[in-house]
Amino acid sequence: MDLGFIGVGRMGFHMVRRLIEAGHNVLVFDANAEALARVQKVGARVAASPSAIADQMETVMASLPTPDIVQAVAKAVSDGKRIKRFVDLSTTGATMAARIAAELKAHDIALVDSPVSGGVGGAEKGTLAVMVSGPTADIAAVQPALAVIGRIFRIGERAGAAQTMKLINNYLSATAMAATAEAMVMGAKAGLDPKLMLDVVNAGSGRNTASVDKYPKSVITRSFDFGFATGLMLKDVKLCLDEAAALGVPHDIMSAVGRVWQLTQDEVGADEDFTTVVQPLEKRAGVEVKST
């Protein structure tokens, strides 16, 4: 299958690599020259711009960091000579997805709203959760490509439905990270061994994605290198808060989680790994959550 792919950073690189290994012909673009050089080494061809990709490919995929960038890229490809569908693998929120779908529809281009979950590790292994909403025929057209990068979940036809599902997932992930930070700092302050704490939690009812994977690998080792930025997690929680408010549903816990991530960004930095969420709490408690 001939594919365009825009955005070949940490996630996009592995998705493109897997697509090429599966036999797909992939034409890529990224604003980062180093990212382009890396992906060329695994067999990708490079285009001069997003619009150049849209001139050559019927299906254009994108994995981009923010809603505004996705909208700008969607606009850039909308006048392409060949493009028929735009597959957005990013997290933009339901409102932006609906807006982009309408803008693309004016150019007879379909939006396949397809955010993914599973992080860099999932992208590397091809085990991402791929949430999809959009026109049935266009989803069917791209299903062989999406199946290469992970497990497909069809959410519906409405633009933005997959985004809502992704935001719910990421909110729960953000909550697990924040709650585990508080619990681990509390235990460390009480003199408990962090590694033993994780062993007990993961054998019991407190087990969660943070305690199983992120804290053992990147927090108690003090490497803080799991592969997802604090600023991106805060962005996702804020998008979820916006959607909850728009839907008129309670979001008290979500608001508290949002404050934790805002604090982390303010004190540690937006570009730092999201496992640093524990650091502001450690500072206040006067302890470190680390293996001994």
57-95 tens-digit pLDDT: 999 999 999 999 999 999 999 999 999 999 999 999 999
Identify the domain boundary among 158, 178, 196.
Answer: 158
Q: Residues 236, 241, 243, 245: what is their CA dihedral angle, to the nearest 10 degrees?
A: -170
Structural domain including 210 reads 164-285
In a domain, 292, yes or no: no
- 3-state SS, residue 25: strand
Looking at residue 3, its pLDDT comes to 98
Q: Are residues 153 and 281 in the same domain?
A: no
Q: Are residues 125 and 210 in the same domain?
A: no
pTM score:
0.92
- Residue 183: give its domain's CATH number: 1.10.1040.10
Token pair 């600023």: residue: 231
Separation between Cα atoms, residue 154 and residue 135, nearest integer Å: 11
Q: Tens of pLDDT along 256-291?
A: 999 999 999 999 999 999 999 999 999 999 999 998
Arithmetic mean of pLDDT over the chain = 97
In a domain, 212, yes or no: yes
Strands (E), 82-145: 85-88, 110-113, 116-117, 128-133
Q: Are residues 83 and 203 in the same domain?
A: no
Residue 105 designated active-site: no
Q: Are residues 14 and 80 in the same domain?
A: yes
Task: Give the CA radius of gyration of the chain.
Answer: 20
Q: Are residues 18 and 132 in the same domain?
A: yes
> Which residues neighbour 164 within 8 Å (Cβ) at sequence distance 6 or greater?
94, 155, 243
Statement: residue 292 has pLDDT above 90: no
In a domain, 291, yes or no: no
Q: Are residues 149 and 280 in the same domain?
A: no
In a domain, 92, yes or no: yes
Q: Are residues 120 and 193 in the same domain?
A: no
Query: What's the structural domain count of the chain?
Result: 2
In a domain, 117, yes or no: yes
Q: Are residues 23 and 140 in the same domain?
A: yes
Write down the catalytic residue from 84, 125, 166, 283: 166
Statement: residue 129 has pLDDT above 90: yes
By DSSP bridging, strand 85-88 and strand 59-62 are parallel
Q: Tens of pLDDT along 215-261?
A: 999 999 999 999 999 999 999 999 999 999 999 999 999 999 999 99
pLDDT above 70: percentage of residues in the chain: 100
Identify the domain boundary among 99, 128, 158.
Answer: 158
Q: Are residues 104 and 205 in the same domain?
A: no
Q: Are residues 121 and 172 in the same domain?
A: no
Q: Are residues 182 and 263 in the same domain?
A: yes
Identify the domain boundary among 105, 131, 158.
Answer: 158
The answer to whether residues 149 and 126 touch, using CB atoms and an 8 Å cutoff, is yes
DSSP letter at 44 equals: -
- Residue 80: give its domain's CATH number: 3.40.50.720
Q: Are residues 168 and 266 in the same domain?
A: yes
Mean pLDDT calculated for residue range 117-140? 96
